Structure 1
Amino acid sequence: MNFLRRIVRPQNKEDENFYYELKELLNFKPIKLSHYKKAFTHRSLKLVDAKGNPINYERLEFLGDAILGSVIASYLYKKVPEGDEGYLTQMRSKVVSRDHLNSLGKDLDLIRFVKSNITNNQISNNIHGNIFEALIGAIYLDRGYNYCHQFIYEQVILPYVDIERLEGKISSYKGYIIEWCQKNKKKYSFDSYEDTGNQSKKHFSVRVSIDGIMIAKGRATSKKKAEEIAAKRVYYAMQDRMKNS
């Protein structure tokens, strides 16, 4: 522990203030402040290291973008087991969209840490999202993947990732499918049958077909639940087409 304390001890008053603000923001102790300083350094300063490599947030932004995407993808994969690849990709894109990341950066007021040679009026709005991603990259280099996961979960997933809100809340998928089919003059059918198999409790299966083509199936302990499961899967399979017509 003494060794750790020696590493994190700030060298001057400015570093001390930066350290404690970071600690409050991250909810854990930063170890190597240089990673975080780089995450908030704008290219306009034209800083370079001893080898001539630029010192700014852009490479950390690239790293943070990849880590953020992987954490969100993992969360969605586990949270929505019935979502297909297209659905999961679309949902991840909504979470990590530039507008959303800019909002996150603004909410955390990350701009207060940025060092640059240009005024705030000249800075692109995208800087808020860029430095948010760079901060994730700095956390990864400083504390590793688990701390990145913790930060993203606390700052992104818990407050902002609402599955129903992101996909557009639908109270009844069966009702939505029927309404869409009627609007677009499509023939539809919900065909149900008992499917208990080796289980003692009665189960039902439902096949949903549109224009004679079976799109999806659902199975549950009641016909109504099975219909809703099947209809939801139809929605996931056809959502792009449905939203554009």
Structure 2
Amino acid sequence: MSLFKKILSNSRSDEDGIFFTEIQKILGFKPNSIDIYKKAFTHRSFNKLDAKGNPISYERLEFLGDAMLSAVIAGHLFNEVPHGDEGYLTKMRSKVVSREHLNELGRDLNLIRFVSSNVPTKHFGDNIHGNIFEALIGAIFLDKGYTYCEKFINKRVIIPYVDIAKLEGKVISYKSMVIEWCQKEKKSFHFDIYDDNGIDGQRFFGVKLMIDSKIIAKSRATSKKKAEEIAAKRAYYALQEKMIIKH
């Protein structure tokens, strides 16, 4: 082996060792196959292929992890809330696995530090945090099976975050609540969306939430969906005493 190849090999070995140590700290157990976990943090822009020529990215593991997380949370809620009907359990599960909550979990573990990408991480949207958290769960399932997957979700999600009483009062979507209230009270509503770009050249969207032809709230964000949700949240707090809606 040439000196260059030996140095390169040692460098890769050192990187693998650091990655292995850090991942083991997060998991709480020793991984069997470190390569599976590397896939959980490989962005498609990295343009990496496996031995069969298939592209490697975290997206397939994200799909698998999403299913595992949903199954474990569903099982927990089923056992913990014996009085809950299908609608109640579905809504509660949605609160636990909401995109906002998954992004929070990914950020708390600082998983983005492991991502291999040809795109600077500052250009990723917020959802990258939740996506790789789900991909990590998918990797655990492939590497160690359902039991370890369940233990990890219990440790990282259920014990610190799943409080039934608090979940019952948690709002997933203020926009849905506002729409539901308007329909119930037979009030007209409209989200007026317009471009509201700043001087830095980044694209922003402005939203005016109209209820019965009156402007109730305004907002501005980098996406229409975010702007609508912010406006709806402001409207909710402005009309909170009137909005007696179970969520």
Q: What TM-score do the two structures reach when normalised by structure 2? A: 0.64
Separation of aligned partners in 2, 1:102 and 1:50: 32
Q: Does 1:107 align with 2:128?
A: no
Q: Which residue of 2 aligns with 1:158?
A: 159
Q: Which residue of 1 aligns with 2:139?
A: 138
SS where residue 55 of structure 2 aligns? coil
Q: Which residue of 1 aligns with 2:245?
A: 243
SS where residue 243 of structure 1 aligns? coil
Separation of aligned partners in 2, 1:244 and 1:31: 46
Separation of aligned partners in 2, 1:62 and 1:21: 24
SS where residue 16 of structure 2 aligns? helix
Output one character per residue of 1:67-101: Cα deviation in whole Å (capped at 9) or x when no partner.
00000000000000000000000000000010100
Q: Which residue of 1 aligns with 2:125?
A: 124
Separation of aligned partners in 1, 2:39 and 2:125: 19
In the alignment, residue 105 of structure 1 is paired with which amino acid? G
SS where residue 29 of structure 2 aligns? coil
Separation of aligned partners in 2, 1:121 and 1:55: 21
Q: Which residue of 2 aligns with 1:61?
A: 62
What's the % identity of the aligned pairs?
A: 62
Output one character per residue of 1:191-238: Cα deviation in whole Å (capped at 9) or x when no partner.
xxxxxxxxxxxxxxxxxxxxxxxxxxxxxxxxxxxxxxxxxxxxxxxx
Cα distance change, pair 104–143 in 1 and its aligned pair in 2 (3 A): same
Gaps of 5+ in 1: 1-10, 170-183, 185-240
SS where residue 152 of structure 1 aligns? helix
Gaps of 5+ in 2: 1-11, 171-184, 186-242
Q: Does 1:14 align with 2:15?
A: yes
Output one character per residue of 1:144-178: Cα deviation in whole Å (capped at 9) or x when no partner.
00000000000000000011111019xxxxxxxxx
Separation of aligned partners in 2, 1:243 and 1:58: 37
Report how far residue 140 of structure 1 moved: 0.5
Separation of aligned partners in 2, 1:148 and 1:49: 24
Consecutive aligned runs of 4 or more in structure 1 exceeding 2 Å deviation: none
Report how far residue 244 of structure 1 moved: 6.4
Report how far residue 242 of structure 1 moved: 6.5
